[in-house]
Structure 1
Amino acid sequence: MHFEQHGMGRPVLLLHGLGSSLRTWDLVVPHLAAEREVIAVDLPGFGATPPLQGAVTIAALTDAVAAFIADRALGDVDVVGSSLGARVALELAARGHGGNVVALAPLGFWSDRQAKIFNATVGNSMKAMRAAHSLLSLLGNNPIGRSTLLAQFSARPWALGEDFVLTELRGFKTSPSLNAALDALVKGPKPEAGTAASARPPARITLGWGRQDKVAVPSEAERVTDVFPQARVRWFEDCGHYPQWDQPEETVKLILDASG
């Protein structure tokens, strides 16, 4: 898998979200790297990493991350995931990964009704952005356009930088595994209470969730704690689906506190 490495100290592995890349962490990496060695990866089929050879499933994506950890001799590295990456991070925890896990708004901990709503709203929005790729630069280069495009994902889309937003938006078009990963989340098996009970628990599981998240609605946090009763929840105010976008300083603080 393609990755970037910054800083020195105890390593922390960053896993991005659906349709994104390691660039989603750009607002937090400089501050996090002042304290830790930061390793940010592109998941298979996103960014600069080629797609998986077989079916795209949460289990297969987790296998790829586990193989990366083993190949790099990272051992019980602390893992931070966002959205899809948070789901993968929690799957690692369920398998017995021993490092601290920080999961920012993990996807897939929903009811059947919530999954259908997600697919009909967020899923279709992502597909529409793929189809309207030629308009993204025009819409993304002004605050009104950014607000229109990212209202579902950010509580403060107008405040995000133009270059940062355009990089994120291009991911929706250029990620070959976007649709397959979306289907894996919506149609694949959902985590159930008790599935992680026999695994060796990580040192700590911390959930980070935006109060204004319209993608993984805040009520889904309770479903995560049903599966991982040891998890604690940290809420971000004035924050949508991506705390690393809307509250980067608070996100760095959470990561350092939760994995220190």
Structure 2
Amino acid sequence: MSLHHVRRGNGSPLLLVHGLGAGLRSWDPIIDALAAHREVIAVDLPGFGQTAPLTGEVSIATLADSVERFIDDQGLDGVATAGQSMGGRIVLELARRGIGGDTVSLAPGGFWTERELAAFGYTLRPSIALVRALRGALPTLLSNPVSRTALLAQLSAHPWSLSRQTALPDLLGLVDAPATDAAMGALTKGPKQKGAPAGTVPGRVTIGWGRRDLVTVPRQARRAVEAFPGATLHWFPRCGHFPQWDAPSEAVELILASTH
């Protein structure tokens, strides 16, 4: 399967892997800033954006397989990677497999307790259902700071300050992507993320976490670092689940400083 992708900028390549939502457009708030310094390759995972869904099982492993094949097909051996949420987990899985180079993982899933995983499913599934029910009104609702805050309170630490265009692509992606439900199943019913022994990953691993993340809660960060010994943990102080929304400049600085 070929992954739809875009390339921007020049320099050392950097591969971006999105989470649930808009596909590669989830990186819109920071892709231009990254591309001012690097050649940025952003992909649509299977069933998101303009990439067709997988024909078989949807799991973190099979989604990572698709990115691994893309890296091979594009001649990107040793490419630095950055991912957010589900994409943050996928780039860690690639690093665990020895694929890629330096890795930046923002708010990855897979490091939860059973109780935290249950809370993740019980809260996010109704939120997705609500967004689906409100799909036609989303542009209007996101234009008003009060309704925007109500819609995005689970995802952003300061939703009232975001622009409509920052969040709209991801919310529409949750509604429209054919793989949303299957990917949610992979996250909530599949295995937790495996770690990697010290010295077995191909480059540096940096894990970024929002202090106010209500989706992958901050206490999971310690488990992620323990699973990848030697990883550097970066805290985003005033940030929810989407660093590219809440702290775009800081996210750009972290990715650029942590990869080469």
User: Which category describes the TM-score, using the shorter chain as reference length?
Assistant: over 0.9
Q: Could you tell me how far 1:143 is from its partner in structure 2?
A: 1.4
Q: Could you tell me how far 1:97 is from its partner in structure 2?
A: 1.6
Alignment of 1:201-212 (within 5 A): 201-212=201-212
Q: Could you tell me how far 1:132 is from its partner in structure 2?
A: 2.6
> Which residue of 1 is the match for residue 186 of structure 2?
184
CA contact (8 A) 1:204 1:258 kept: yes
CA contact (8 A) 2:68 2:94 kept: yes
The one-letter amino acid of 1:185's match is L
Structure 1, 157-166 or 167-176: larger mean CA deviation: 157-166
> Which residue of 1 is the match for residue 43 of structure 2?
41
> Which residue of 2 is the match for residue 52 of structure 1?
54
Q: Could you tell me how far 1:199 is from its partner in structure 2?
A: 8.0
Q: How many residues are paired up?
A: 258
The one-letter amino acid of 2:120's match is F
Deviation per CA, 1:129-173: give whole Å up to 9, x if none: 123322322311211121111110011212222223222211111
> Which residue of 2 is the match for residue 123 of structure 1?
125
Unaligned runs of 5+ in 2: none
> Which residue of 1 is the match for residue 93 of structure 2?
91
Q: Could you tell me how far 1:48 is from its partner in structure 2?
A: 1.1
Unaligned runs of 5+ in 1: none
* Secondary structure in structure 1 of the residue aligned to 2:235: strand
Q: Could you tell me how far 1:12 is from its partner in structure 2?
A: 0.2
> Which residue of 2 is the match for residue 135 of structure 1?
137
* Secondary structure in structure 2 of the residue aligned to 1:218: coil
Percent of aligned positions that are identical: 49
- Alignment CA distance shift 1:237-1:198 (3 Å): closer
Large movers: runs of 4+ above 3 Å: none
> Which residue of 2 is the match for residue 218 of structure 1?
218
Alignment of 1:127-206 (within 5 A): 127-192=129-194, 195-197=195-197, 200-206=200-206
> Which residue of 2 is the match for residue 61 of structure 1?
63
**Residue 24 of structure 1 pairs with residue 26 of structure 2:** yes
Q: Could you tell me how far 1:246 is from its partner in structure 2?
A: 0.6
Deviation per CA, 1:195-225: give whole Å up to 9, x if none: 5228831210000111110000010011112
* Secondary structure in structure 2 of the residue aligned to 1:28: helix
CA contact (8 A) 2:121 2:188 kept: yes
> Which residue of 1 is the match for residue 13 of structure 2?
11
Structure 1, 176-185 or 20-29: larger mean CA deviation: 20-29
> Which residue of 2 is the match for residue 111 of structure 1?
113
CA contact (8 A) 2:198 2:230 kept: no
The one-letter amino acid of 2:92's match is L
Q: Could you tell me how far 1:98 is from its partner in structure 2?
A: 4.2
CA contact (8 A) 1:96 1:199 kept: no
CA contact (8 A) 1:97 1:200 kept: no
CA contact (8 A) 1:96 1:202 kept: yes
Distance between the aligned counterparts of 2:251 and 2:52, measured in 1? 29
The one-letter amino acid of 1:246's match is D
Deviation per CA, 1:93-126: give whole Å up to 9, x if none: 1111240000000012100000000001123212
> Which residue of 2 is the match for residue 244 of structure 1?
244
Distance between the aligned counterparts of 1:162 and 1:135, measured in 2? 12
The one-letter amino acid of 1:256's match is L
The one-letter amino acid of 1:82's match is Q
Q: TM-score, normalised by structure 2?
A: 0.95
Distance between the aligned counterparts of 2:193 and 2:110, measured in 1? 8
Q: Could you tell me how far 1:58 is from its partner in structure 2?
A: 0.4
* Secondary structure in structure 2 of the residue aligned to 1:206: strand
CA contact (8 A) 1:146 1:165 kept: no
* Secondary structure in structure 1 of the residue aligned to 2:42: strand
CA contact (8 A) 2:82 2:104 kept: yes
The one-letter amino acid of 1:66's match is E
